[in-house]
């Protein structure tokens, strides 16, 4: 099954951009990242090669340019990553993390509304599980 090696922090960042773009060349990812972060083109290239070798992306040559596309859904990676963090940092308990998110980082009123809606939905559709 999913026995991919985990992604490192830097690789995660690249993966996120790749999900966003859906399909991209190194340059496209590089340009999406570089405004906010000083990083070399070749470094991004390495990260993307690693994404592929770890099984998180497919890739092919289009002409003489290599194109990458994610081969694992964000939700999956997010689950694996966050679960691991929650485990180690909170002993498996998610509530403190949510508290931190809600209290220590500003939640916009928009977000508040969204959250409420989410909770309502959850509560409704069966206390089951």
Rule CB under 8 A: which residues touch its own copies?
9-10, 12-13, 16, 75, 78-79, 81-86, 88-91, 94-107, 109, 111-112, 114-116, 118-119, 122-123, 127, 129
* Interaction of residue 53 with DNA, rule CB under 7 A: no
d(CA 68, CA 62): 10
Structure-token pair, residue 47: 């990260």
Stretch 61-100: interaction string toward DNA, x if CB under 7 A = x-xxxx----------------------------------
The single residue among 20, 34, 43, 118 that binds DNA, judged by CB under 7 A, is 43
* Interaction of residue 5 with DNA, rule CB under 7 A: yes
Buried b (16+ CB within 10 A) or exposed e, 95-109: eeeeeeeeeeeeeee
* Interaction of residue 47 with DNA, rule CB under 7 A: yes
Host H or E run for residue 66: strand 65-70
DSSP 61: E
Residue matched to tokens 């995660």: 12
Given the rule CB under 7 A, which residues bind DNA? 5-11, 25-27, 39-43, 45-47, 61, 63-66
């Amino acid at each position: 099954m999913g026995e991919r090696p985990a992604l490192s922090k830097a690789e995660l960042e690249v993966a996120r951009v790749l999900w966003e773009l859906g399909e991209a060349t190194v340059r496209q990812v590089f340009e999406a990242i570089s405004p906010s972060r000083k990083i070399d083109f070749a470094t991004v290239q390495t990260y993307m090669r690693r994404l592929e070798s770890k099984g998180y992306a497919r890739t092919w040559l289009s002409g003489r340019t290599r194109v990458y596309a994610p081969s694992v859904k964000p939700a999956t990676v997010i689950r694996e990553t966050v679960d691991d963090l929650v485990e180690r940092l909170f002993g498996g308990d998610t509530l403190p993390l949510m508290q931190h998110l809600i209290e220590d980082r500003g939640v916009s009123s928009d977000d508040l509304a969204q959250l409420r809606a989410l909770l309502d939905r959850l509560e409704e559709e069966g206390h089951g599980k």
